Amino acid sequence: VLTAAHCMVEADAVVGSTKGFFRAPLSEVQVAVGSILNTTASPIGVKRVVISPLYDPKNNTHDIALLELNSALTFNNSVKPALITSARIGAGKSCVALGWGYTENRTVSNVLQQVQLETAKNDQCSTGYPGWAGQDGDLICTGNTPGRDTCYGDSGGPL
């Protein structure tokens, strides 16, 4: 499972509950796999976390980690490997972000949230990110659509 390194620190994980986010020992972390509509997904434990050796928390670069699960996944219509593209991203591309982060009520959602976003133009991104290297660099920048964004706690989720 691919996630953000800053969510997995010193063999702990940042997990969410209805009371907010907290650190939990890796032995207590489980991953539910399947459709977001499937409420009967069986949780799978995490065997180990592999954080990029290039991860730099001060500069927030190479913020990537892999979770090795306790058991192998069975691929089906709801569980598929992620596809990696070498295509250029550019501006105006539609994408969906998923997460369990805080809602507008400042509570952690118990339902997986999703938001439709669009990649922004480079001049928009360079205003908010000094040193912006473009959509084909290390980051993907989405535009400012009022009322549509990811929230605190969505880190490590898919885009």
The answer to whether 6 is a known catalytic residue is yes
Helix count (H) and strand count (E) of the chain? 1, 9
Mean pLDDT of the 83-103 span: 84
Interatomic CA distance for residues 75 and 10, integer angstroms: 30
Interatomic CA distance for residues 130 and 151, integer angstroms: 21
| Domain assignments of the chain as residue spans, ordered by start | 2-69, 84-159
The answer to whether 42 is a known catalytic residue is no
Superfamily of domain 84-159 in the CATH hierarchy: Trypsin-like serine proteases (2.40.10.10)
Q: How confident is the model at residue 152 (pLDDT cuts 50, 70, 90)?
A: confident
| Strand 20-25 relative to strand 30-32, pairing | unpaired
Active-site residue, from 6, 12, 109, 126: 6
Active-site residue, from 62, 109, 126, 155: 155
3-state SS, residue 153: coil
The answer to whether 155 is a known catalytic residue is yes
| Nearest alpha-carbon partner for 47 in 24, 22, 21, 66 | 66
Please state, for a pLDDT cut of 90, what percent of the chain lies above it: 5
Mean pLDDT of the 22-39 span: 72
Active-site residue, from 27, 62, 63, 109: 63
Q: How confident is the model at residue 129 (pLDDT cuts 50, 70, 90)?
A: confident
Q: How many CA atoms lie within 13 A of 151 on its CB side?
A: 21
